[in-house]
Chains A and B, each alone.
Chain A
Amino acid sequence: MNDYNEKVIKNVLDMKRAEEDAEFLKEIQEAKNNPAFKKKKNETKLFIKEVSKSKNHRPMLRAASIVLVVVASLAIVTVSVEGFGEKITSFFSNFVSSDYAAVDVDEEDNLFSEYKGMYVPTFIPEGYKVESVVNGEDIFELILKNNKKCMVIIREQSLDLKSNIDTEDADAVKEIEINGMNGLYVKKGQTERVVLVSDATMLYITDNDSNVDLIGFAELIEKR
């Protein structure tokens, strides 16, 4: 009797399962024919694109590694080789410094166009304007001033003009080379001085403004 009941129950369950399976298959068929579930044309492409995005991390890691190696190399060489750090900082200061972005001498109607053959700045520090120009026998001098009682002086003088420059008890004195000319850099309190000497002339640049990078400014001076 128990076996019979078990068989009846099993048959009923099998019939029920078969009905459910049939309904499920019917739903699948309806879904296939439903336009809302149809695969759109570019869906495959979008899917592949999303997947491949994750693969782009590898080139970025490679680039980051290279940058890290270059920066670390520069840092090690800068620390270990005297003078190299100064070359690097002056190289970058030409592009990064905004002190000299105010007036491009060439854009200002050739500010120094009449002084051919003279050393003139290619940029004027922000806030400064040309106060005076002296064009004498032994001296060609430009004086720049701002409204904060600061001054930058660029003087080209013949080697016949002898100068005493205050270097005693200076905070810093070091030999430098700028644009092929050897010279001295002196810092004393608020004032800085750069002296550059060539075969025929001496270039003397001085200021009392700590916001002006005098060596960077000197590197932007050119002979017209």
Chain B
Amino acid sequence: MKRIISLLLVAVMAVTSLGVSVYAAEANYDDLVAPCYTNIDSVSAGLSEGVLGFVTCTSNFISFDDTKTFVLTCYLQRTDGSSGWVNYKSKSETYSGMGSYTIEKSWFAPSGYAYRTYTKLQVKNSAGTVVETATKASAVYYNW
């Protein structure tokens, strides 16, 4: 019994003296934190530069609510810098039930503006009433 206890103490001292290192994540996740959603898991917006002046807009949402209807609208917004963002192009789809839904659309983006994708999601109940709205803007693409 004494031998077991002494072995135990030696093992604990050996393991703790090795200095178990625990990672420390230092990434910034402020961009991911959102207001509290009721029916939505996440909303996303993306804009990527294509060729010959085209840009590709991506809007996505995820929901685990199987009882709602969702209206997802993907806007290509632009600004000339002197005024606010203006809806330039848009595409809208309606979905029912849980899932991950994506609109991806390419549009021609004339120079002289800054562009961004703006995602708007409306959640409707069985009566057709909008019960929740969520939005998200992408990073800005400057095409002056």
Tell me the residues in window 101-144 of chain B with beta carbons closer than 8 Å to chain A beta carbons: 102, 104, 134, 136-139
Question: Which of B1-9, B68-76, B77-85 is the interface stretch?
Answer: B1-9
A138 with B20, Cβ < 8 A, contacts A155-B100, A160-B139, A163-B32 known: no
**For residue A83, which residues in chain B have a CB less than 8 angstroms away from its CB?**
22-23
Tell me the residues in window 13-38 of chain B with beta carbons closer than 8 Å to chain A beta carbons: 15-16, 20, 22-27, 29, 31-37
Interface of B is mostly: mixed
A82 to B37, CA, bound (A): 31
**For residue B104, which residues in chain A have a CB less than 8 angstroms away from its CB?**
136-139
Query: Taking the complex as formed, is A162 at the interface, i.e. its CB lies under 8 A from any CB of chain B?
Result: yes
Q: How far is the CB of B32 from chain A (nearest CB, A)?
A: 5
* Residue contact A165 to B34, C-beta cutoff 8 Å: yes
Query: Taking the complex as formed, is A68 at the interface, i.e. its CB lies under 8 A from any CB of chain B?
Result: yes
* Residue contact A84 to B66, C-beta cutoff 8 Å: no
Query: Taking the complex as formed, is A176 at the interface, i.e. its CB lies under 8 A from any CB of chain B?
Result: yes
* Residue contact B32 to A206, C-beta cutoff 8 Å: no
Query: Taking the complex as formed, is B95 at the interface, i.e. its CB lies under 8 A from any CB of chain A?
Result: no
Q: How far is the CB of A179 from chain B (nearest CB, A)?
A: 12
A139 with B60, Cβ < 8 A, contacts A155-B100, A162-B44, A164-B42 known: yes
A204 with B42, Cβ < 8 A, contacts A138-B48, A163-B136 known: yes
Bitwise, A79-100 to B at CB < 8 A (1) or not (0) is 0111110000000000000000
Q: How far is the CB of B43 from chain A (nearest CB, A)?
A: 5
* Residue contact A167 to B33, C-beta cutoff 8 Å: yes
Q: How far is the CB of A23 from chain B (nearest CB, A)?
A: 57
A153 with B62, Cβ < 8 A, contacts A158-B48, A164-B136 known: yes
* Residue contact B134 to A164, C-beta cutoff 8 Å: yes
Query: Taking the complex as formed, is A15 at the interface, i.e. its CB lies under 8 A from any CB of chain B?
Result: no
Q: How far is the CB of B87 from chain A (nearest CB, A)?
A: 18
Q: Point out residues on A near B: beta carbons under 8 Å.
A: 65-66, 68-70, 72-73, 76-77, 80-84, 131, 134, 136-139, 141, 143, 149, 151, 153, 155, 157-158, 160-169, 175-177, 182-184, 190-191, 193, 195, 197, 204, 206, 208
